[in-house]
Structure 1
Amino acid sequence: MSKITETTIEADPKLPIIRMSRDFDATPDQLFRAHTDPELYARWVGPESLETRIEQWDARTGGSWRYVAVGDGAEYGFHGCFHEVRPDRIVQTFTYEGEPDGVALETIWFEDLGGGRTRLRAQSLVDSFEGREAWLRSGMETGVNEGYAKLERLIADGAV
């Protein structure tokens, strides 16, 4: 029997923040690796309809990244800087190049639940409530859920 896990996505009522949470049958180290290894990251991030091409990837404190999501003849660029990279937490900026003024500050935590399970928590602080609502309307929920479903398959297959 296959278990479908959805990501909890919540908008903070008082701050322009999006919070996400999802439990994985994986160790914190596996999830950290999936978020910092460019080859693994490209295999799972984003919706099923898009493929990811890593253009730049330096997953260390002070490093930067850029990738392009490709599908149906269109390309969507994203870039940012890694502000802090450590096994239990990643802090980075995130910019969709189609909306270059909309820089988000993201924090991802890997919380060990024991027994080979980990809760991934993420928080994205954007510049305004309007910007946050645009993110929520953009289809990000589909991309997040489909991407994390791909990650779960990679973990189950032993690729991570």
Structure 2
Amino acid sequence: MTTFDPERDLRLERFMKASPEMVWRCWTDPELFAQWFAPKPVKVSDVHYEFHPGGAANLTMTLPDGTVMPLQGCVVEVEPARRLVTTDAMTAGFRPAGQPFLTAITELIPQDGGTLYRATALHNSAEASAKHEQMGFYDGWGTTFRQLDELSDSLT
């Protein structure tokens, strides 16, 4: 289990009305994933996740100005409808990647008929964490939480 380090890690939690299974469906269905993963009007495409250790965690984001951002990573750990750990420090097959930015831990905790959704971004330094925060971590990830909450609740 990972210990939260307030110097290097960022975390958001939100209660969602939908069950962990519905929230998980929004992670595992590429069409649903593309609807919530980035703050609108950013577009998400080419979603390719393989939900097993060593599997791909890839997608492409297109910013409103047309900038295309391909993101490639690796699934490190998966417990369906409970926990997903991904990182950009590796690509599929646990291949080392270039400059790592973060490891993301997503936890779906059953609570009061819904889900406590906890997302933790682990960084290799306090400086990297501060940079991510300055890039808009809380606003951006908070927006995606709202989008995911609305989408997953609409499926129930």
TM-score, normalised by the number of residues in structure 2 = 0.81
How many pairs were matched up?
143
Give the counterpart letter for 1:82 in structure 2: V
1:132 aligned onto 2:124: no
In the alignment, is residue 50 of structure 1 matched against residue 50 of structure 2? no
Instruction: Indicate conservation of the 8 Å contact 2:26/2:152, yes or no.
Output: no
1:144 aligns with 2:141: yes
Match among 87, 90, 98 for residue 93 of structure 1: 87
Partner of 1:69: 61
TM-score norm. by structure 1 comes to 0.79
Q: Which structure has more RCO (C-alpha within 8 Å, separation ≥ 6)?
A: 2
Per-residue displacement from partner, 1:87-142 (whole Å, max 9, x unpaired)?
A: 211111136xxxx5233122111110132x11011222111111111100112223
How much does 1:55 deviate? Answer: 4.8
My pick for the range that moved more, 67-76 or 131-140, is 67-76
Distance 2:10 2:130 in 1: 9
Counterpart CA distance in 1 for 2:27 and 2:73 is: 14
Secondary structure of residue in 1 paired with 2:88:
strand
| Residues 66 and 80 in structure 1, CA contact (< 8 A), matched pair in contact too | yes
Higher mean alpha-carbon deviation, 138-147 vs 82-91, is at 138-147
The match for 2:28 is 36
Question: Which residue pairs with 1:155 in the alignment?
Answer: 152
SS of equivalent to 1:157:
helix
Q: Quick check: 2:86–2:104 contact (8 Å CA) kept in 1?
A: yes
- Contact (CA 8 Å) 1:47, 1:142: kept in 2 or not? no
Structure 1: which 5+ runs fail to align?
A: 1-10
- TM-superposition CA deviations, 1:62-97 (whole Å, max 9, x none): 2112111112211122221111111211111136xx
Q: Which residue does the alignment assign to 2:18?
A: 26
Report % sequence identity: 27
Provide the C-alpha distance between the structure 1 equivalents of 2:107 and 2:152, rounded to a whole number of angstroms: 18
Change (3 A) 1:55 1:35: closer
Q: CA RMSD in A?
A: 2.0
